[in-house]
A = this chain, B = another copy of it.
């Protein structure tokens, strides 16, 4: 199912049929079982992926064994550890399927091939990286300026769909709080 991928690309830039085909052919489809990993800490992230089905979490495990979610990726989202992928260094992150999932994967070599052969691909990833950076910038500001209560309310409003599909443990790991405290926030909100 590259139809979703094509739509996603055309959403960012315009490409000819030929260009689209030759780019999309660089991707391999992969099915990932629930709870299975696309990436583990210590591995070098050798792919960039586009989710066509299911849901992933990209997370860190800190020195005390607690997990922090960098982001969730559902259908139509891109997924990678850009740090490890770009610098070819061991990743600090885990990427795990939270549901039965499917991704289209492109290797670093093929991606660089595309940069060289299809000039607009450079623009595509320039624009996409800008957008993800803008999102992260907004999240950074929110994390610095808002209380956990407000971040939780914002999360539900911004990602109503993810809210349905995630457990509170996962949402708490994204908000940067313990799941017990999230439970208390939920009670407080519910009692209003």
Per the bound structure, the CA–CA distance linking A125 and B133 in Å amounts to: 13
Tell me how far the C-beta of A149 lies from the nearest C-beta in chain B, rounded to whole angstroms: 13
A134 near B176 with CB under 8 A, answer: no
Interface size class of A (residues with CB under 8 A): 20 to 34
A82 near B136 with CB under 8 A, answer: no
- Asked if A191 is at the interface (CB within 8 A of a chain B CB), the reply is no
Select A143's contact among B123, B126, B129, B143, beta carbons within 8 Å.
B143
A112-168 interface with B by 8 A CB criterion: 115, 119, 122-123, 125-126, 129-130, 132-134, 136-141, 143-146
| 11 chain-A/chain-B pairs, Cβ below 8 angstroms | A60-B144, A60-B145, A63-B145, A66-B145, A83-B134, A86-B134, A92-B141, A119-B119, A122-B122, A129-B130, A143-B143
